């Protein structure tokens, strides 16, 4: 018998069930899964998602700037980079490539991020009000490394795509995509560690800065 | 990991006299305990969420085979290979074979307590693979050649001066003691490892049956590098980590970081489902998921099954007066504190870990803070009962408990003997009314005096009040 059979059989024997897992038992598990039961929600997951998102971003040290339109994003990004004395050179996701980056003075490259890139620009699938979280989904045009390798991550978030809680984000994902992509990536603030004497240090392995540009 | 739990008493004494450890533990206690309390206070439905979470974990554990099969089917559909291992050795053999088949020279690793259980690093190194821990705490411990002393903050016992020494020896750079500068130095060293690794190894905080997903929860982002950059991704995890749905993850993630360190949310929640898709620019070409038993099935369906609910937040140890004083290494295996005192005897044998279930004051705080309501004191008490029944405790202790039991189960005898004992000990204590030495219990009286009974026993007072018509509110 293989390890798999032994383990499954031991589970069943200990649970007082005979034979192999039967169809009815499998179906019962699937039926339960299909209910997608939710736990009671705290009040912070029930208010206005945009207000909540802005407040919670402050808590996780994601900076937020409200921008009038998507077209104004390059100018806002350029202002943020120059105010923080950062490089005006970025690698970004394809969907944003058509904006006028050159006019804003940013050298925008639409390719996979590498170790030398200091600024990564992405948008997101949606964002979550309860925790100030960005949800990024991987795909050929939205690789995860843009939000991970560079020291600065700028993320364009549409107000209309801010949901109240993680459960709603999953609901939206099921409705619009049907299944999970390879990487479903929830980002709440810059990378941090407290492994030396419980002292919080920003910028452990991932970005030092996460900046949200909030568009209508 | 080598079991040293049988040396609990000796190691504890040593740890109590370790000034660096004592100072580290004091610092940590405040942050963990106060941090959790503040974070939990913000959630008015905390108790309802706890109850929901405990029930959802119970449901999975009661139907573990069905949910594991559901997970396996969905993970396989997405191109992952699911392996099953009954023991540590089997798990290591599987992973070493994956490394060999893919000519792996360098593996980066994100923190995994299951991998500590099975000593995966030793197995891979013996096969010629360089393994680099990338969680900062685990990296520090790898340099120090020490096991973790906490399941969430593995290097909590280390001072920054000790870390500075380790970095000088490993990095050959000037000694730094500024914590942000030290972190940056480690970031630079590890960044190169992330980029050149052939294999990434991670644990899984949970695995999701609905989607065949494995997931990691980190603040550093190291698990993201490990699961995204190398061409092979290996997940090593316990069979009890399965949860039914994405919604269940949403429930549990409200509890986990708050209970662990008082955070509303961890910085990176990474759900990985299958391998790199067509046209994807990043992600691994192979994903292997190793599901490990190594003792877990012993808990299924039996009187300690609640232990399988555990989500590894560390709140029980953070709040344990014994852990707070002796630290994690005294427990002698991967899992310290109350959860370890239940798990270690199960996984390595009670004969090797007999002192652990006894290293508790039964103050009950672990159960109060447990996000999935595991009755930890009851479970430790069950181990004590088994030890008594199997004659695994010292003769003197068993005799004393047997004697106490003989008196306690005979009310008349008990009333009479406590009456005598109260008077004898009052006399023994003398004018100071403090007992400074008890025959056979000098270990206890070495460190403190016992206050002497002041006169009559509770039963005598109770009887007097009743007959005198006093109020018995």
Residues A124-144: pLDDT tens digits? 999 999 999 999 999 999 999
Q: Which residue of A has its CA nearest to B41?
A: A42
Tell me: do B69 and B191 sit in the same domain.
yes
Residue B306, CB half-sphere, CA atoms under 13 Å: how many?
A: 19
Of A82-96, B287-301, B369-383, B457-471, the least confident: B457-471
Statement: residue B443 has pLDDT above 90: no
pLDDT tens figures, B16-25: 999 999 999 9
Shortest Cα distance from A101 to chain B (angstroms)?
A: 23
Statement: residue B473 has pLDDT above 70: no
Residue B460 CB burial class (10 angstroms; 0-12, 13-18, ≥19): middle
Closest Cα to residue B324, out of B27, B24, B25, B13?
A: B25
Q: Tell me whether residues B280 and A143 touch, CB distance under 8 A.
A: yes
Shortest Cα distance from B440 to chain A (angstroms)?
A: 41
Tell me: do B33 and B63 sit in the same domain.
no
Q: Tell me whether residues A29 and B276 touch, CB distance under 8 A.
A: no
For residue B353, name the pLDDT band (cuts at 50, 70, 90): very high
Domain assignment present for residue B164? The answer is yes
Domain assignment present for residue B473? The answer is no
Residue that is last in its domain, among B335, B361, B393: B393
Average per-residue pLDDT in chain B? 95
pLDDT tens figures, A179-212: 999 999 999 999 999 999 999 999 999 999 999 9
User: Going by C-beta distance under 8 Å and a sequence separation of 6 or more, which residues neighbour residue B181?
Assistant: none
* Predicted local confidence at residue B432, as pLDDT: 83
Shortest Cα distance from B353 to chain A (angstroms)?
A: 24
Q: Mean pLDDT over residues B114-142, rounded?
A: 98
Residue that is last in its domain, among B365, B393, B421: B393
Q: Tell me whether residues B244 and A33 touch, CB distance under 8 A.
A: yes
pLDDT tens figures, A10-61: 999 999 999 999 999 999 999 999 999 999 999 988 889 999 999 999 999 9
Interface test with A, best of B48, B62, B282 (most A CBs within 10 A): B282
Shortest Cα distance from A190 to chain B (angstroms)?
A: 7
Which 25-64 residues of chain A touch chain B by CB within 8 A?
25-26, 28-30, 32-33, 36-44, 56, 59-60
Tell me: do B154 and B288 sit in the same domain.
yes
Domain assignment present for residue B303? The answer is no
Q: How far apart are CA B242 and CA B208, in angstroms?
A: 6
Tell me: do B117 and B204 sit in the same domain.
yes
Tell me: do B209 and B352 sit in the same domain.
no
Tell me: do B381 and B453 sit in the same domain.
no
Tell me: do B119 and B6 sit in the same domain.
no
Domain assignment present for residue B385? The answer is yes
* Predicted local confidence at residue B470, as pLDDT: 56
Domains contained in chain B, number: 3
Tell me: do B185 and B289 sit in the same domain.
yes
Please tell me what DSSP assigns to residue B106: E
Using only C-alpha atoms, chain B has a radius of gyration, in whole angstroms, of 26
Average per-residue pLDDT in chain A? 97
For residue B466, name the pLDDT band (cuts at 50, 70, 90): confident
Tell me: do B110 and B201 sit in the same domain.
yes
* Predicted local confidence at residue B465, as pLDDT: 86
Q: Tell me whether residues B65 and A21 touch, CB distance under 8 A.
A: yes
Residue that is last in its domain, among B244, B272, B298: B298
pLDDT tens figures, B154-172: 999 999 999 999 999 999 9
Tell me: do B334 and B419 sit in the same domain.
no
Residue B1's domain comprises 1-42+314-393
Q: How far apart are CA B288 and CA A207, in angstroms?
A: 28
Domain assignment present for residue B309? The answer is no
* Predicted local confidence at residue B165, as pLDDT: 96
Tell me: do B345 and B329 sit in the same domain.
yes
Which domain CATH number covers B65?
3.40.50.10420
Q: Mean pLDDT over residues B169-177, rounded?
A: 95
Domain assignment present for residue B115? The answer is yes
Q: Which residue of B has its CA nearest to A202?
A: B180
* Predicted local confidence at residue B471, as pLDDT: 57
Statement: residue B91 has pLDDT above 70: yes
Statement: residue B245 has pLDDT above 50: yes
Tell me: do B291 and B318 sit in the same domain.
no
Q: Which domains does chain A carry?
A: 3-35 (no CATH), 43-215 (3.40.50.10420)
Closest Cα to residue B198, out of B236, B233, B223?
A: B233
Query: Which residues in chain B touch residue A196, judged by CB atoms under 8 angstroms apart?
Result: 136, 140, 155, 158, 160, 163, 179, 182-183
For residue B469, name the pLDDT band (cuts at 50, 70, 90): low
Statement: residue B238 has pLDDT above 50: yes
Domain assignment present for residue B352? The answer is yes
Nearest to B279 among A140, A191, A205 (CB): A140
Domain assignment present for residue B404? The answer is no
- Partner residues linked to A65 by β-bridges: A213
pTM of the model: 0.94
Q: Tell me whether residues A7 and B184 touch, CB distance under 8 A.
A: no
What angle in degrees, to the nearest 10, is found between the helix axes of B64-77 and B46-62?
90
């Amino acid at each position: 018998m293989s390890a798999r059979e032994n383990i499954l059989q031991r589970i069943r024997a200990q649970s007082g069930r005979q034979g192999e897992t039967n169809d009815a038992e499998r179906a019962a598990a699937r039926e339960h899964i299909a209910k997608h039961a939710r736990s009671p929600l705290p009040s912070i997951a029930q208010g206005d998602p945009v207000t909540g998102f802005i407040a919670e971003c402050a808590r996780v040290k994601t900076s937020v700037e409200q921008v009038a339109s998507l077209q104004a994003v390059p100018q806002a990004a350029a202002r943020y980079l120059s105010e923080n004395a950062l490089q005006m050179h970025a690698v970004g996701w394809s969907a944003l490539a058509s904006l006028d980056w050159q006019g804003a003075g940013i050298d925008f490259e639409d390719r996979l991020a590498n170790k030398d890139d200091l600024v990564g620009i992405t948008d997101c699938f949606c964002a979550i009000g309860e925790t100030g979280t960005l949800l990024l989904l991987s795909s050929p045009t939205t690789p995860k490394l843009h939000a991970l390798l560079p020291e600065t991550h700028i993320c364009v978030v549409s107000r209309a795509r801010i949901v109240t809680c993680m459960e709603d984000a999953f609901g939206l994902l099921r409705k619009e995509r049907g299944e999970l992509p390879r990487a479903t990536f929830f980002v709440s603030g810059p990378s941090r560690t407290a492994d030396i004497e419980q002292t919080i240090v920003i910028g452990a392995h991932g970005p030092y800065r996460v900046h949200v540009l909030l568009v209508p | 990991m080598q079991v040293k739990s049988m040396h609990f008493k000796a190691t504890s004494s040593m740890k109590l006299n370790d000034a660096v450890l004592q100072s580290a533990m004091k610092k940590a206690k405040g942050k963990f305990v106060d941090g959790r309390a503040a974070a939990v206070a913000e959630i008015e439905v905390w108790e309802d969420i706890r109850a929901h979470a405990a029930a959802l974990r119970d449901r999975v554990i009661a139907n573990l085979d069905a949910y594991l099969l559901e997970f396996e089917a969905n993970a396989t559909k997405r191109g992952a290979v699911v392996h099953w291992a009954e023991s540590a050795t089997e798990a290591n053999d599987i992973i070493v074979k994956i490394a060999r088949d893919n000519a792996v020279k360098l593996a980066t690793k994100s923190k995994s307590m299951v991998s500590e259980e099975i000593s995966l690093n030793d197995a891979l190194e013996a096969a010629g693979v360089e393994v680099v821990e990338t969680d900062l705490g685990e990296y520090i411990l790898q340099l120090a050649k020490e096991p973790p002393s906490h399941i969430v903050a593995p290097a909590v016992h280390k001072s920054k001066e000790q870390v500075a020494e380790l970095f000088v020896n490993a990095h050959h750079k000037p000694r730094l003691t500024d914590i942000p500068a030290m972190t940056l130095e480690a970031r630079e060293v590890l960044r190169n490892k992330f980029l050149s690794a052939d294999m990434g190894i991670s644990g899984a905080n949970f695995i999701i049956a609905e989607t065949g997903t494995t997931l990691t929860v980190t603040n550093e982002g190291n698990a993201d590098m490990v699961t995204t950059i190398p061409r092979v991704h290996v997940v090593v995890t316990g069979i009890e980590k399965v949860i039914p749905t994405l919604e269940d993850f949403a429930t549990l993630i409200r509890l986990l970081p708050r209970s662990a360190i008082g955070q509303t949310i961890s910085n990176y929640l990474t759900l990985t489902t299958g391998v790199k898709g067509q046209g994807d620019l990043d992600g691994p070409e192979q994903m292997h998921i190793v599901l490990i038993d190594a003792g877990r099935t012993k808990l299924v369906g039996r009187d300690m099954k609640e232990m399988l609910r555990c989500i590894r937040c560390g709140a029980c140890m953070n709040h344990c007066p014994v852990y707070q004083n002796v630290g994690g290494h005294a427990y002698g295996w991967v899992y310290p504190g109350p959860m370890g005192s239940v798990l270690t005897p199960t996984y390595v044998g009670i004969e090797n870990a007999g002192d652990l279930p006894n290293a508790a004051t039964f103050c009950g705080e672990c159960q109060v803070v447990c996000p999935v309501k595991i009755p930890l004191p009851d479970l430790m008490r069950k181990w004590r009962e088994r030890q008594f029944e199997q004659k695994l405790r010292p003769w003197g202790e068993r005799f004393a408990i047997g004697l106490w039991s003989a008196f306690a189960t005979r009310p008349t005898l008990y009333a009479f003997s406590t009456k005598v004992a109260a008077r004898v000990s009052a006399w023994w204590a003398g004018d100071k009314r403090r007992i400074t030495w008890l025959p056979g219990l000098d270990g206890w009286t070495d460190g403190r005096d016992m206050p002497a009974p002041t006169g009559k026993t509770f039963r005598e007072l109770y009887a007097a009040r009743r007959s005198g018509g006093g109020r018995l509110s």
